[in-house]
Amino acid sequence: MASNGKVAMVTGGGQGIGEAISKRLASDGFAVAIADLNLDNANKVASAIEADGGKAVAVKTDVSDRDSVFAAVKEASEKLGGFDVIVNNAGLGPTTPIDTITQEQFDTVYHVNVGGVLWGIQAAHAKFKELGHGGKIISATSQAGVVGNPNLALYSGTKFAIRGVTQVAARDLAAEGITVNAYAPGIVKTPMMFDIAHKVGQNAGKDDEWGMQTFAKDITLGRLSEPEDVANGVAFLAGPDSNYITGQTLEVDGGMQFH
């Protein structure tokens, strides 16, 4: 893997979509910091990248904690020799029928999903300023952040918020050579999505496959997404071909939502 001289950090990089993004960015020549609450998972992904000839480090991070995110960016920058791209990918997706939502659930999901993006934007911006150059900020929304999905009031709400924050940050940071975009995955074969499908099926007295199909039936391309499909879109947003794109949400959902 030839280095492109740039450094990227991916939160929630230890599994699912984050793992696929980390590996794709490494193959594109980025040195990658795998930032995850689960350090074992992060280490596995970093080791796989290194074994493939790439450059990676694992960083333990709790994205709901602002100080932890700033510390992760600092560590990534020091260990990898720079900082150019942050991918705010970490997120929680609990199944929450309206009447079941608790105060504790609300606090947890908003702190991780929205807080994690805000702190990531702040930490990346501070580091870009310190290093004296622009950069790219990329955050995970969802097709459920474009159109409300059944049973996902908390998740959908946070993902709509991320699109709003992305648009504001794009306007606020453009003069500094920083682009800010989001990507909206559809129904991806990840541990989180299988859990959602299981819960939705259970709530309806049906099986996991029924739960998955409640979401999957609207995919124009007729197949569930692989994590790599999403990573391809993020690679475009992280690379030079998207330099004239900011404030946008790239929907990588096989044609679930059209805008």
Whole-angstrom distance, CA of residue 12 vs CA of residue 61:
9
For residue 107, give Cα distances in angstroms to 53, 115, 149, 176.
40, 10, 20, 33
60: annotated active-site residue:
no
The active-site residue out of 159, 183, 206, 217 is 159
CB atoms within 10 A of CB 177: 12
Among this protein's residues, is 159 annotated catalytic? yes
Please check whether residue 56 is in contact with residue 31, taking contact to mean a CB–CB distance below 8 angstroms. Answer: yes
Helix (H) or strand (E) holding 229: helix 227-238
Position of tokens 């947003």?
237
The two tokens of residue 128 are 């870009």
In whole angstroms, give the CA distance from residue 218 to residue 255. Answer: 8
User: Which residue of the set 6, 23, 127, 155 is catalytic?
Assistant: 155
Per the DSSP assignment, residues forming a β-bridge with 10 are 34, 87
Which amino acid appears at position 202 of this protein? Q
Element (H, E) at 139: strand 135-140
Catalytic residue positions? 155, 159
